[in-house]
Structure 1
Amino acid sequence: MDKQRQHSAHEQGCLNEQLPTHVTQDAVIIVPGIMGSELRDKKSGDVLWGLSGVRWLINAWTRPQGLKRLHLTEEELTGSTDRIEATQLLRHSAWTPYLRGQEPYTQLQEAVTGYVADPAAICEFAYDWRLPVATNGKLLAKRAREHLTAWRQHPKHHAAVQHRADQRPARLVFIAHSMGGLVTRSALDGSHHDDLAADTRTVITLGTPFYGSVKAAVILNTGRGAPVPLPHRKLQKLCHTMPGLYDLLPLYRCLRQDNDVTRIDAGLVKDLGGNPELARNSFDFHNSQHSVALPDHRSLVGTRQATWQSLTLTNGKVETHFDGARHNSDGSLIRDRAGRITYFSVQGDGTVYRDSAARSTHLSTVPIQHGDLARAEASLDAVIDILLEDEPQGPPLGEPGCGISTPDLVETGQTWQAVAEHVDSVHGLTCTITDTTDNQSRPVRVAMQDGYPAAMITSQVPGLYRVAFHTRDGHTVSQLVLVAEPGLEKEEVD
């Protein structure tokens, strides 16, 4: 018996020696955003979303049948989830019209791995983002409990507990990007098999649209009254019956009508071109979530990027605006002396405007686009600070970084602009363009164009390219642009 105890003590000492100086004993769950999980056909094993290679990506969006198998079937709309499975988090850069680039989660996973006691402490929760947030929330609740139980029984967990000043058992840390924050909130709503919130130390959300995004309404409306490129039309067809997209519709007062601003409802969603029943189900679900508190919630919010905040609907066609109404302390809208509504540009991450993502009292801001929030160095630094129970230092004093504006889709041989916003000089500003296939980068000259620093870019080879501006204060902001072959077909919604 004494020999067994000596052996156990020696083994425990070896485990402690292997731990880095800064490490957490907690269990981490990474929850991706919409289109951030690889999806496979269970029967054939075919990857339906998330394959590597630009050729696959271009074919998916430019061939009429490229995404047909992702469309929800009647059986799936009535609750069956046996046809498609989510297998892993996105491992390759991807692209979606309007939502633009989805960056892979590999760098987030690698960063977190350096600060946990063992890779087994990390759970990457892939999910079928086509389905309702509520459905995926239930699956996450079950998976999170299983993960925490397994990690608490792991030898490295016991070593980490002894290694930390606070020698408590592991709790859960959720790191959720975009829609993943809504899935996490659903998992913690207390209606599942146990009180998962009691075992959760903190929830870190990266650009989560707690109050929705105008882009979701635009996607449902795409092409009504005007021809649009085939990729944009294909996204509209895919999302028309996709409950996950309806869960991203704006919940705040964003619809401009005469001299008022109202919320959108199921009837208006029908006018947009969407499915009113799916909209109604989504609004009911969000109403049930208002009272759900996220334990020690930390919000990381993208800023300095031009972001749609409101919309008008005229004859079935949406017009978007980069500003929105705000209200007084009594709930009334702020108006000028003539009684007209005053509109404010709050900006955001290019997809989610700042106030929609800033639900927490613990708020950190970074000048980053939405798709890059789970990859950029500034984001990863903030996540690690929170993981180690430190307060994020935040950006330097003053307005950091810059915004970036690019088209989402261009053709080979076409010259297009990447514009740096909120900077008035090219001094200290550089630009690079990177082919995501081989990660080869080249510099692009930045010059003043119509009063703004801009880079003029021409790509002769189809592909997915990352355009980045690097500012003199050390920030990088990037955006993905898909370059396709000439002659993209255009369609108009009936």
Structure 2
Amino acid sequence: MGSELYDTVAGRTIWGLANGSWLGRAWLTRDGLAPLRLTDEERAGDHSRVRARRLLRTPAWSPFLRGVEPYHALVRTVENTTAHPDAVMTFPYDWRLSIEVNGRRLAEEARAHLQRWLAHPAQSAARRQAVDERPARLVFVAHSMGGLVTYAALTLGGDRDLLDDTRGVMTLGTPFQGSVVAANILNARQGGPLPLPHTRLARAAATMPAVHELLPRFLCLEDGPDVRRLTAVDVADLGGDKDLAAASEGFFSSLYAHELPRQRPVVGIRQDTVQSLRLVDGVVHASEYCFRTDGDGEVKRDANGAPLRYRVWGDGTVHRGSASLLRRTVPVSAQHGAIAQGREARRIVADFLLEDDHLGPDQAEDGIGLNVPDFVGPGTAWDCCVTGTDDPAQVECVVSAAEGDWRRPVRLEAGDDDRLHAEVTLPREGLYRVTARSETGPTVTQLVFAGAEDGNGDGDADGDGTGD
């Protein structure tokens, strides 16, 4: 969701504005997200209606995902690290569409960009400083689903030489094995009670191939005494589209048949992250633990035969085991939507761009986690929780408006659960940022949307007139 989307037929931006009035219209009114739903023509392959114009310039908010920070700080870091700003190409894409569609487009644009850069005078000058005066190759830096789009571009994109022309791929919080959060998103119409923004998103997401491709593909579904993977039938039961789920299975069978070499995965750690689920009468019950298998593929069990549960945390959206195709990772303490703009990740990206050879991953400092609700009511108190320490003196926490000068310190106190807690109340509707800084580790941020739920005034949770 990190690209601004523009409806060429209606002549307006349908995703990527962050002011409070737009957020209210998008998430709390009857047809606020209707333009994001895929039409029959789009599902049939006509993708001309919506155009991805640019990367996000301002923070964007979404239920369950808790917000996406803009990429301008990361882009500046890359531009300042390379030989010339013209060496950098950003790739906004329509994140509603399938990974395969976006991967083919990225392959075409990456090839054209490399050809332009090889003919650039600054590349000729930089080449003289390179070992053996080697010509430039591509380096991909991709956040979240962008890592899967890159994977598809390099292996299924139709350009057989693109992989050879690539020096490395750095992924930031990419759900290579999917995320239970995608199941929560699709299930919001059936589970409840949930705030209106969550049900709005579920209705739009049910039409999107990309959301179905982000569903978990690892052992995650507790089914009696067993643990198994989701099937297309399960996806339909929880509120998704059976055909889109089946198409996703076929796509990943093809994708996983190819390796992604020269990958450096940056993974978020220390954040509470759902990793498994139970499906009861069509309602998802997600949990913050996962399961492991032995070399023979059998689930590890305790002395009574019950599957052993492991809590490995993650970035709040993607658990650590899903964020890499490799065992070796670069861990950072960060929330999913903010991992790409954080100072620690930007330093890692800059180092990666300057490498000639793989030097091995950095080691992360011990960090803190942040657990706050994604949607709250103005004037309603909610719990701000910091994990990883029980000493308030070690953490500075503030909440501030994404727009304007409103800012307040958060006074944390130790709880009985070895975490820090504070009661927070936001004064009015709008987008807010919670920031927690540890004196010994990195900074963690998360976006919170404050909005009233009476934007419709009609009690229709889905915006389709049914009220169900």
TM interval, shorter chain, is over 0.9
Say whether residues 1:394 and 2:362 are aligned partners.
yes
Contact 1:205 1:298 (8 Å CA) reproduced: yes
Residue identity over aligned pairs, in percent, reads 43
Call closer, same or farther: CA 1:490–1:347 in 2, change over 3 Å.
farther
**Alpha-carbon shift at residue 201 of structure 1 (Å):** 0.3
Residues of 1 paired with 2:212 and 2:453: CA distance?
32
Alignment-derived partner of residue 422 in structure 2: 455
- Residue among 312, 320, 335 paired with 2:278: 312
Between the aligned partners of 1:208 and 1:264, the Cα distance in structure 2 is: 20
Alignment of 1:109-120 (within 5 A): 109-120=75-86
Structure of larger gyration radius: 1
The answer to whether the Cα contact below 8 Å between 1:204 and 1:298 also exists between their aligned partners in 2 is yes
Aligned ranges 1:204-219 → 2 under 5 Å: 204-219=170-185
C-alpha RMSD of the superposition: 1.7
The correspondence for 1:248, drawn from 211, 214, 219, is 214
* Aligned pair partner of 1:468 in 416, 435, 455: 435
Deviations, residues 394-413 of structure 1 (Å, cap 9, x unaligned): 3456xx11111101000111
Q: Is the 8 A contact 2:79 2:85 kept in 1?
A: yes
* Paired residue type of 2:440: D
Q: Secondary structure at the match of 2:164?
A: helix
Matching residue's letter, 1:394: D
Q: 1:337 aligns with which of 303, 308, 323?
A: 303
Q: Which amino acid aligns with 1:178?
A: S
| 1:163-218 CA distance string (max 9 Å, x none) | 33452111000001000011001001155043210100000000100000001111
Contact 2:170 2:266 in 1 (8 A): yes
Query: Cα gap change, 1:140/1:406 in structure 2, threshold over 3 Å: closer, same or farther?
Result: same
Residue in structure 1 matching 2:46, options 74, 77, 80: 80
Is 1:43 the counterpart of 2:13 in the alignment? no
SS state of the match for residue 379, structure 2? Answer: coil
Counterpart AA for 2:333: P
- How many residue pairs match? The answer is 458
Q: Which amino acid aligns with 1:377?
A: R
Aligned counterpart, 1:286: 252
Q: Over residues 23-70 of structure 1, what are the superposed CA-to-partner deviations in whole Å (9 max), with x where a residue is unaligned?
A: xxxxxxxxxxxx111111123431111124222122211111111112
Further displaced range: 453-462 or 133-142: 453-462
SS at match of 2:315: coil
The residue identity in structure 2 corresponding to 1:491 is A
Who is 2:449 aligned against?
482
**Match for 1:491 among 447, 453, 461?**
461
* Alpha-carbon separation, structure 2, partners of 1:204 and 1:119: 19
Q: Would you say 1:427 and 2:393 are equivalent positions?
A: yes
1: distance between equivalents of 2:331 and 2:147? Answer: 17
Shift of 1:486: 5.9
Residue range with higher mean Cα deviation, 136-145 or 449-458: 449-458
Residues 239-282 of structure 1, C-alpha deviations (whole Å, 9 max, x = no match): 01111111101101110011110011111111111110000001
Gaps of 5+ in 2: none
| Alignment equivalent of 2:135, drawn from 169, 173, 183 | 169
Q: Which has the higher strand share?
A: 1
Partner of 1:69: 35
Deviations 1:126-171 (A, max 9, x none): 1111111100000000000000000110111111112334521110
1:385–1:391: 8 Å Cα contact kept in structure 2?
A: no
Gaps of 5+ in 1: 1-34
